[in-house]
């Protein structure tokens, strides 16, 4: 079944800025998709169309969630189907106490009191903010706010979860914890859309990557999209650092047909290569090595202007 269907979506802001042009894609239920694109590419704008927030006379095209077109009169019911974590957590925290912010969604969906309490506790625990019910939302730190914003969506238990930059502003431990939360949601069968500039996190989180630059410039498996260096660099984007490093290793003679996407992939790759080489891996320097290294590195260099 199709979780999200967007067909020929176009949107311009009232000052005339064109944010989306002919955007079409489908996401199946249970899929986990990373949405990437440079600053100003229209990613957040697209997200706001998925629950009808930006539905207006200025939007042209179709958006269907779980098989139904978005009905502007029923936008208040959307959070049950799709929960959206905005880029700026301040747009999601507006009650005095965090517990009230996390309870707000389920109360509005008519969830019974006891169940609301249970969900608030559970959602705060999941994002590592156990016991934060009585904390003042707008006093939380940047990273705490980001996690709090995610809790306000988890408490509604939506079928589809879309997150705008979930790992931004998080310290390494919180980032790792958040990646675990997202993996947990993925294995529960939730449909996930993750907007991120954190390319190193993508291989762990998403099976598919959509590249948006006003319109969709690439859509494929994570491996396919990361293999298209030219397209990525043209869009001002990167591949995971480990892929870049293995391209450098290739210049030193490391035999590797398929570049690893993650550290786990790299460990498997090295293990296989060393086992096939009788316990050794042979690297060498010859006359083309350094030019090879330079060209591997320059592929991903971004130039201003």
**Rg, C-alpha atoms of the chain:** 22
Question: In the complex with ligand ATP, which residue's Cβ is closer, 13 or 94?
Answer: 13
Name the one residue in this structure whose structure tokens are 């005095």: 96
List the one residue from 10, 87, 215, 289 that touches ligand ATP (CB under 6 A): 87
3-state secondary structure of 82: strand
Q: How far is the CB of 24 from ligand ATP (least distance, A)?
A: 17
Which pair of tokens denotes residue 155? 């408490």
Q: How far is the CB of 38 from Mg ion (least distance, A)?
A: 10
Question: In the complex with ligand ATP, which residue's Cβ is closer, 35 or 124?
Answer: 35
Question: In the complex with ligand ATP, which residue's Cβ is closer, 86 or 104?
Answer: 86
Q: Residue 82 contacts by C-beta under 8 Å, 6 or more apart in sequence?
A: 4, 50, 51, 65, 158, 159, 160, 161, 162
- Contact flag: residue 191 with ligand ATP (CB under 6 A): no
CA-nearest of 262, 241, 193, 223 to 34 is 193
Which pair of tokens denotes residue 149? 């914003």
- Contact flag: residue 85 with ligand ATP (CB under 6 A): no
- Contact flag: residue 45 with ligand ATP (CB under 6 A): yes
- Cα distance between residue 224 and residue 218, in whole Å: 9
Q: How far is the CB of 216 from ligand ATP (least distance, A)?
A: 13
By CB under 5 A, what part of segment 78-107 binds Mg ion? Answer: 87
Question: In the complex with ligand ATP, which residue's Cβ is closer, 27 or 111?
Answer: 27
List the one residue from 7, 22, 28, 40 that touches ligand ATP (CB under 6 A): 40
Q: Which does 40 bind (CB under 5 to 8 A by kind): Mg ion, ligand ATP, none?
A: ligand ATP
- Contact flag: residue 169 with Mg ion (CB under 5 A): no
Which pair of tokens denotes residue 4? 């999200």
- Contact flag: residue 90 with ligand ATP (CB under 6 A): no
Rounded to the nearest 5 degrees, what angle is found at the Cα of 41, between the Cα atoms of 32 and 144? 60
- Cα distance between residue 252 and residue 246, in whole Å: 10
- Contact flag: residue 236 with ligand ATP (CB under 6 A): no
Cα–chain center distance at 265: 20
Question: In the complex with ligand ATP, which residue's Cβ is closer, 46 or 161?
Answer: 46
Question: In the complex with Mg ion, which residue's Cβ is closer, 86 or 226?
Answer: 86
Closest CB to Mg ion: residue number: 44
Strands 208-213 and 82-85, by their bridges, are unpaired
Cα–chain center distance at 266: 22
- Contact flag: residue 45 with Mg ion (CB under 5 A): no
């Amino acid at each position: 079944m199709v979780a999200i269907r967007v067909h020929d979506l176009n949107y311009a802001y009232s000052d005339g800025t064109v944010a989306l042009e002919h955007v079409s894609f489908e996401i199946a239920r249970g899929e986990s998709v990373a949405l990437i694109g440079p600053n100003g590419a229209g990613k957040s704008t697209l997200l706001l169309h998925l629950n009808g927030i930006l539905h207006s006379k200025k939007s042209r095209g179709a958006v269907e969630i779980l098989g139904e077109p978005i009905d502007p009169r029923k936008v208040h019911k959307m959070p049950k189907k799709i929960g959206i974590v905005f880029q700026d957590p301040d747009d999601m925290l507006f009650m005095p106490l965090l517990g009230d912010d996390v309870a707000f969604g389920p109360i509005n969906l008519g969830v019974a009191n006891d169940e609301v309490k249970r969900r608030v506790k559970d959602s705060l625990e999941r994002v590592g903010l156990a016991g934060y019910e009585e904390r003042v939302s707008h006093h939380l730190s940047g990273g705490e706010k980001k996690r709090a914003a995610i809790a306000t969506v988890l408490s509604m238990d939506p079928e589809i979860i879309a997150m705008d930059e979930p790992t931004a502003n998080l310290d390494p431990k919180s980032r790792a914890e958040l990646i675990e939360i997202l993996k947990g949601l993925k294995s529960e069968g939730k449909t996930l859309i993750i907007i991120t500039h954190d390319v190193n996190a993508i291989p762990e989180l998403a099976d598919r990557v959509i590249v948006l630059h006003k319109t969709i410039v690439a859509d494929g498996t994570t491996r396919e999209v990361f293999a298209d260096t030219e397209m990525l660099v043209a869009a001002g984007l990167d591949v995971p650092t480990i892929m870049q490093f293995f391209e450098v290793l290739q210049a030193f003679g490391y035999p590797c047909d398929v570049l690893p996407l993650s550290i786990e992939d790299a460990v498997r790759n090295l293990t296989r290569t060393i086992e096939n080489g009788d316990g050794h891996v042979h690297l060498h320097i010859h006359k083309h090595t350094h030019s090879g290294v330079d060209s591997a590195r320059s592929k991903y260099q971004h130039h201003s202007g």
